[in-house]
Amino acid sequence: MTEPRDRADRDDGLESEVRRIVDDLSLDERLHLMSGDGKWLRGNLEMAERYNAEPLVAGELPRHGLPGIRFTDGPRGVVMGAATAFPAAMARAATFDPTLEERVGDAIGVEGRALGANLFAGVCINLVRHPAWGRAQETYGEDSHLLGAMGVALTRGVRPHLLVCVKHFAVNRMENSRMWVDVRVDERDLHDLYLPHFRAVVDEGAESVMSAYNTLNGERCGQHHHLLTQVLKEQWGFDGFVMSDFTFGITSAAKAANGGLDMEMPFRMHFGRLRRLVRSGAVPGSRVADAAARVVRAQLRLRGRGEPARYTPEAVACPGHRALSREAAARGMVLLRNEPVAGAPVLPLDLATIRSVAVVGRLASLPNIGDLGSSQVHPPEVVTLLDGLQAAGTAHGFEVTYDDGTDPAAAAAVAGAADVAVVVVGSTFRDEGEYLLKAGGDRTSLRLRTADEDLVQRVARAQPRTVAVLMGGSSFVTDRWHHLVPGLLMAWYPGMEGGHALADVLRGAVEPQGRLPLTWPASGNDLPPFRRFARRITYGPLFGYRMREATGQRPSFPFGFGLGYAPVVWGAPVLAEVGDRPGDDGRVEVRVRVELTAPAGRDAVEVVQVYVPEVLGTHPAPLRTLRGFARAEVPAGTTVPVEVALTVPPGAAEVLVGPSSDPDALVVVPLS
């Protein structure tokens, strides 16, 4: 594990070498460091054929031993080569397990280095303000604390091997209009709600920040002096480099350079005018020297990092990484309903009595691992959900029949003839993802397609033991039909081993452990304003579970919710410790302890969550806000103590502890 930037890397020797190299550079060499090295026409043709098939190089200067920034995208894994496709970031967020995410980061770092990259631009931590956002699948949910914890964990895993770029800075959470939408945000809301997770990852040591396409309060993020220079570089002390989002990330070379952008990616377009602008004085030479120093510093920091013996072709999509993908997929699946049928919960499947399983739905047989935009990974193979259940059937002695659901009546007949039915519905790249000509973009509805809702209802009427499995990257509105199915499981976009992971969960080899990283609204719930092709929008302080509390509305499934096969018995939470002195930011350290008991016969998993009533941004009243969590494994028939460390603002009178944000599940713990 690497140390945070403020404890490592900042040594006099490094800074002396950075100054020496920059002082020796000509103006043209300094400008060369400030953009991608490829040719615009040729590069775009190559990316149209396959995006980022090889590292995208920027700022290579062999004369000084600088290999350049060698970029690979993410976050599902390395987009180059035939790499391991991990579950989508949203699925990994559902694990509430930063330790697991750090292991994923380590695997990504190894594969990226083996494929020739030295920078991973896959730490995507844009907050999901509205679940219709098409690229919600690429991030970690609606809560800043969870986003920060998971982004920090991924950064820790990747940094021993690659430079880390965090994106998209900032307030990027609309896809179809991302190139032009002007996002209006009050400064208090910006700093309290929309930026803290970015600061957490920057403080962890990310060497690069990618700016967003959208404008913020009237200025494009890629040329936003207040955001990039005053906040990021001056207030936060960031000494890495800022790169633009690709191709259309800026509109003015002078505004971008003076605003704090250090590198235009992936080619020199607007920054081709920088030489003239420097000569005329429109862009100070000192600004160019600073940008060059930041890019040089990042490249020098990578020297000495790494484990060369691991960076072999055999490391890419190796058995160990595939097993990790399977583990992450299984642990991120969220069990939302598990009602009794004939006196026993429908899951896990009782393999002693079940002889036939009907699998229904077109998505079951598709390699459905996420959108086809810049985050697309190209694994050597994908185990579909149908593949995984068929393999489990062969291994454990039950027959699997399949119907794609095109004819709902025929599918219902197949389901009715089996002992249990698994109906797979949800989204694909055609419904959500990066907004491209071929497909994707923001969702038009939070509901399933009408045909999918009809299919679920027909199968459920024909087969009492029906488990609905949802695939997708964000919330669904399910309250028209979810009460009809005894079993409901969210599988997300589960990566290349998703089929095996689903079979592991359904047959009980793996306990359901996922918790929702974003709220699933009910019909009629208020949501923040969202128009797919908006020219201008205001982002306020209310969204997600905080909006549910402020409006007094009940969601279908709350943030942090998820069931297990072995229900955990909670002991009364108690205050374990309060720090004597507030921290540098005025906050006070607090620890909360709870005891969890698993029933005999089955190990259990729980996520203990601690919320603090807090006034944030422009909303005048305190609202419950996640400030700490801990994942606990509880062996069967035992009791384990769990402590959650968190910080609270001065003057806080209480914290609330429970298994989700549901107010009925939370217990108040006074702080005095």
For residue 293, what is the domain's CATH number? Answer: 3.20.20.300
Express each pLDDT in 351-399 by its tens digit: 999 999 999 999 999 999 999 999 999 999 999 999 999 999 999 999 9
Helix axes 144-158, 196-204, angle to 10 degrees: 20
Residue 152: inside a domain: yes
Find out whether 276 and 9 touch, Cβ atoms under 8 Å.
no
Residue for token pair 């307030």: 171
- Beta strands (DSSP E) in 443-600 are 466-471, 487-490, 536-539, 569-570, 574-578, 588-597
Residue for token pair 């009178």: 653
Examine the fold and report which residue of 310, 330, 364 is the final residue of a domain before the chain moves on: 310
pLDDT of residue 486: 98
Find out whether 543 and 616 touch, Cβ atoms under 8 Å.
no
Q: Looking at the structure, tell me whether residues 131 and 212 fall in a common domain.
A: yes
Residue 187: inside a domain: yes
Find out whether 305 and 283 touch, Cβ atoms under 8 Å.
no
> Please, what's the b/e burial string for 397-412 (b: 16 or more CB within 10 A of its CB; e: otherwise)?
ebebbbbbbeebeebb
Residue 541: inside a domain: no
Q: Looking at the structure, tell me whether residues 302 and 326 fall in a common domain.
A: no
CA distances from 609 to 74, 96, 264, 413, 612 (A): 29, 10, 41, 43, 10
- Among candidate residues 220, 256, 253, the one with its CA nearest the CA of residue 241: 256
Find out whether 233 and 287 touch, Cβ atoms under 8 Å.
no
CATH code of the domain covering residue 659? 2.60.40.10
Domain limits at 383?
322-518
State phi, psi for 410 to the nearest 5 degrees.
-65, -40
Q: Is 245 designated active site?
A: yes
C-alpha–C-alpha distance, residues 523 and 141, integer Å: 20
Q: Which helix (H) or strand (E) holds 302?
A: helix 285-302
- CA torsion 79→365→418→485, rounded to 10°? 60
C-alpha–C-alpha distance, residues 165 and 209, integer Å: 5
Residue 367: inside a domain: yes
> Please, what's the b/e burial string for 228-263 (b: 16 or more CB within 10 A of its CB; e: otherwise)?
bbebbbeeeebbbbbbbbbbebbeebbbbbbbbbbb
Residue 544: inside a domain: no
Find out whether 360 and 415 touch, Cβ atoms under 8 Å.
yes
Q: Looking at the structure, tell me whether residues 34 and 172 fall in a common domain.
A: yes
Examine the fold and report which residue of 465, 496, 518 is the final residue of a domain before the chain moves on: 518
Q: Looking at the structure, tell me whether residues 67 and 129 fall in a common domain.
A: yes
Residue 83 Ramachandran class (φ > 0 left, ψ -120 to 50 alpha, else beta): beta
Express each pLDDT in 33-90 by its tens digit: 999 998 888 888 888 889 999 999 999 999 999 999 999 999 999 999 999 999 999 9
Residue tagged active-site, from 245, 262, 442, 504: 245
Q: Looking at the structure, tell me whether residues 594 and 656 fall in a common domain.
A: yes
Q: Looking at the structure, tell me whether residues 289 and 388 fall in a common domain.
A: no
Q: Looking at the structure, tell me whether residues 157 and 65 fall in a common domain.
A: yes
Residue 548: inside a domain: no
C-alpha–C-alpha distance, residues 210 and 143, integer Å: 21
Find out whether 544 and 525 touch, Cβ atoms under 8 Å.
no
Token representation of residue 499:
């089929």
Residues 6+ apart with CB under 8 A from 620: none
Token representation of residue 612:
């603090």
Residue 526: inside a domain: no
Find out whether 297 and 10 touch, Cβ atoms under 8 Å.
no
C-alpha–C-alpha distance, residues 605 and 635, integer Å: 9
Residue 2: inside a domain: no
Q: Looking at the structure, tell me whether residues 250 and 337 fall in a common domain.
A: no
pLDDT of residue 1: 37
Q: Looking at the structure, tell me whether residues 121 and 251 fall in a common domain.
A: yes
What are the average pLDDT values for consecutive 10-residue runs of the chain, which has 672 residues? 45 90 97 92 86 95 94 97 98 98 98 98 97 97 98 98 98 93 98 98 98 97 98 98 96 98 96 97 98 97 94 98 98 98 96 96 98 96 98 97 97 98 97 84 96 97 98 97 98 98 98 97 93 94 97 97 95 89 77 95 96 97 98 96 94 96 97 88
Q: Looking at the structure, tell me whether residues 364 and 496 fall in a common domain.
A: yes
Find out whether 441 and 433 touch, Cβ atoms under 8 Å.
yes
Strand partners, 488: 337, 468
Q: Looking at the structure, tell me whether residues 347 and 471 fall in a common domain.
A: yes
CA distances from 397 to 48, 353, 358, 417 (A): 46, 10, 14, 17
Q: Looking at the structure, tell me whether residues 636 and 588 fall in a common domain.
A: yes
State phi, psi for 257 to the nearest 5 degrees.
-65, -45
Count the domains in the chain: 3
pLDDT of residue 437: 65
Residue for token pair 């006070």: 588
